[in-house]
């Protein structure tokens, strides 16, 4: 999700909708090999028109495609950061009450509890 948002910085305003849409479709591929094949075609197609965008994408796409290493049933959850943002909010809420922790371990204890609870319910 953040990769696609950052990609907007490398496209001219009001242009490149097709280019960005095709880049978005790379995340819908079945596996990493298929995504890399389509990435090569995407780079060849758009490098002439948007060289700044394609150079940036080529340098940074590997980080984005690492989600293909995880089981396919998790892919739909990784396209959004809502679950992570919700966990961050719960951690913030839980640690705000205490405000000052005597040491790092005492801070990690409630954070671990929230992470385990989220893992068990998710």
Q: Are residues 57 and 21 in the same domain?
A: yes
**Do 49 and 106 fall into the same domain?**
no
Q: How far apart are CA 65 and CA 48, in angstroms?
A: 23
**Tens-digit pLDDT profile for residues 44-72:** 999 999 899 899 999 988 888 887 787 77
Return d(Cα 68, Cα 29) in angstroms, integer.
9
36 pLDDT more than 80: yes
Domain around 38? 2-72
Cα–Cα separations (whole angstroms), residue 47 to 16, 32, 68, 113? 12, 21, 25, 48
60 domain residue, yes or no: yes
Q: Does residue 13 sit in the same domain as residue 44?
A: yes
Domain count, the chain: 2
| Angle subtended at Cα 24 by Cα 22 and Cα 26, rounded to the nearest 5 degrees | 80
For the whole model, what pTM was predicted?
0.59
Residue 77 lies in a domain: no
């Amino acid at each position: 999700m953040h990769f696609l948002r950052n990609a907007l910085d490398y496209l001219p305003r009001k242009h490149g909708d097709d280019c960005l849409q095709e880049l978005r479709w790379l995340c819908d591929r079945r596996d990493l090999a298929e995504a890399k094949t389509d990435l090569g075609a995407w780079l060849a197609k758009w490098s002439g028109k948007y060289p700044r965008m394609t150079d940036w994408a080529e340098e940074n796409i590997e980080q984005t495609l690492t989600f293909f290493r995880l089981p396919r049933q998790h892919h739909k959850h990784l396209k959004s950061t809502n679950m992570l943002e919700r966990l961050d909010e719960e951690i913030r809420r839980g640690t705000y009450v205490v405000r000052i922790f005597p040491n790092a371990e005492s801070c990690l204890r409630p954070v671990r509890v929230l992470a385990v609870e989220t893992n068990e319910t998710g």
